[in-house]
Amino acid sequence: MGQYISRRSVHGLVSLIGLLILVFFLSRLTGDPTNLFLPLDASVETRQEFAERHGFNDPLLVQFGRYIGDLAQFDFGTSLRQQRPAMDAALEAFPTTLKLAAVTMFLAISLALIVGALAAYRPGGRFDRTASVISLAGASAPDFWVAIVGILVFAVSLRWLPTSGTGTWLHWIMPITVLLIRPFGLLVQVVRGTMISALSSAYVKTARAKGVKERVIIFVHALRNSTLPVITVAGDQAAAIVNGAVIVETIFGWPGIGRLMIDSIIQRDFAIVQATVLLTAVAIFVMNIVIDVAYAVLDPRIRHN
């Protein structure tokens, strides 16, 4: 296992370097920050002087060399906009996103397992139909739409919840719900699908024949069969949230990394773009290793490969 993890780490490092190179060069294709930073009224000379002083006029390879040189000393660059180390800004925003992702995925997986299992018990039954339609409808609703309507209904009309912001546990309800619906919808489908085939499999039939209680069959025997696909899909969805729960962070005013990344891309604050991409990529890469290890632990066949 140790060997496996170290091999994966080397792979991860290779991908990370590739990513950094790609982000560096591709982001420079999207224009020079000079015009965005300076006021529209700035003169042509001021613009020239600014670009010169910040090194935007240097050849790209020179700029890249500088970036690599700094990286070697664990200097991730200085934000043009915030005028402070880019990694500081990224690290400040990351915990919020991680918290959102953790709570959301925990709830999404728990709920999906219960609903999916119950739906699979009688495929085509009334509960199955309702659950499928509701979860799919949720998964296909535009999240910014759900978020704003949620605020108008639950905060403005009913006054049950705060509109936005952070603070009490009540502030969590709407953001988490909005984040939850898509992973939940997809996971219900996954759980349901794998459970249906498990329930008609030989070992469940054997268990039934042995007189094992139906509840035990569903939640213990059949559900175990769903673990791997659920982990795969949940991993993808968690990665998507870690990469930025942009809509939720934007609308509800949660200071997360997705928002920071988007703002920096729009303002061409390259140092922060690079720092945030690096941070989220490392996080996703660690998560993928954990998932792979979980696979190996749960399924002995994979361990031997």
CB nearer other proteins, residue 167 or residue 211: 167
Angle at 60 between CA 72 and CA 86, to 5 degrees: 45
The region that residue 133 occupies, defined by phi over 0 for left and psi between -120 and 50 for alpha, beta otherwise, is alpha
What's the CA gap between 34 and 268, in Å, rounded? 9
CB nearer other proteins, residue 106 or residue 160: 160
Taking residue 227's Cβ as centre, other Cβ atoms within 10 Å add up to 16
**Which residues 6+ apart lie within 8 Å of 255 measured at CB?**
92, 93, 96, 249
CB nearer other proteins, residue 146 or residue 211: 146
Whole-Å CA distances, 297 to 6, 83, 105, 173, 215: 17, 46, 21, 34, 25
CB nearer other proteins, residue 109 or residue 119: 119
Min. distance of Cβ 265 from other proteins in angstroms? 5
Min. distance of Cβ 72 from other proteins in angstroms? 21
Amino acid, single-letter form, for residue 221: H
Helix intervals (H) in the chain: 2-28, 34-37, 44-53, 60-72, 86-121, 126-139, 143-150, 170-199, 202-209, 214-216, 223-242, 246-252, 257-267, 270-298, 300-304
Min. distance of Cβ 223 from other proteins in angstroms? 19
CB nearer other proteins, residue 147 or residue 223: 147
End-to-end Cα, the chain, rounded Å: 11
Whole-Å CA distances, 271 to 66, 89, 110, 124, 260: 12, 10, 38, 53, 12
What's the CA gap between 234 and 161, in Å, rounded? 28
β-strand partners of 70? none
Min. distance of Cβ 147 from other proteins in angstroms? 9
Min. distance of Cβ 204 from other proteins in angstroms? 13
Min. distance of Cβ 60 from other proteins in angstroms? 14
CB nearer other proteins, residue 37 or residue 76: 37
CB nearer other proteins, residue 73 or residue 83: 83
Taking residue 79's Cβ as centre, other Cβ atoms within 10 Å add up to 23
Min. distance of Cβ 172 from other proteins in angstroms? 11
CB nearer other proteins, residue 157 or residue 211: 157
Min. distance of Cβ 102 from other proteins in angstroms? 18
